[in-house]
Amino acid sequence: MSNQEKLVQAFSDALGIAQDLVQDTLEYNTIKEWDSTAHMVLISELETVFDVMLDTDDIIDMSSVAKAKSILGKYDVTF
C-alpha cells in the first residue's frame, strides 16, 4: 500500500468517514466526525500506521489532510 493509501485508510478508520471524503482540503472541525475527540484517535492511528511519534505542536498544527502530510514529511514519510 502506498503512503497516500495508508493515509486515506487511517483518516477513514479514525474518523469513521468514507475514503473519498479524505481529500487534502478536508479541515479539522469542518465535519462533525473530525472533532477534538476524534483528533486524538487520528493522531494515535497515524502514529501506528507510519511508526512515528508526534509531539504536541504536531497535534495542534494538524488542521487539514494536507497539513497532516507535511507534518508526516518531517518524519521522513513521503507522499
Partner 1 sequence: MQDDDSVETDIPMTIEDNYLTKLESLFEVPVYDVSQVEKERLLVEVLATLHQHHVENCESYQRLASTWKTDNIQLSDIPFVAVRLFKLLALKSVPESKVLKCLTSSGTSGQVPAKIFLDAITSRWQSKVLVRILQQFLGKQRLPMLIIDSPGNHQSGSRVNARFAGIQGLAMFGRDHTYALNNDMTVDWEAVEAFCRKYENDNVLVFGFTFMVWHYFIAAIKSANRTVRLPNAHLFHSGGWKKLQSQSVDNHTFKAGVLNLTGIPKVTNFYGMAEQVGTVFMECEHGFLHAPSTADVVFRDCYDFSELNVGQTGLIQVLSALPYSYPGFSILTEDLGTLHGVDDCQCGRKGKYFTVESRLPKVELRGCSDTAAAAS
Three-state SS letters, 24-55: CCCECCCCCCCCHHHHHHHHHHHHHHHCCCCC
Cell of 29: 472541525
Nearer to partner 1, 4 or 44 (CB): 44
Least separation in angstroms between residue 75's CB and partner 1 is: 14
Nearer to partner 1, 8 or 15 (CB): 15
Locate cell 487520528: which residue?
42
Least separation in angstroms between residue 2's CB and partner 1 is: 26
Whole-angstrom Cα distance, residue 43 to residue 11?
A: 9
Least separation in angstroms between residue 40's CB and partner 1 is: 6
Q: Which amino acid is at 20?
A: D
Residue ranges in contact with partner 1 by CB under 8 A: 28-30, 32, 35-37, 40, 44, 47, 53-57, 59-60, 63
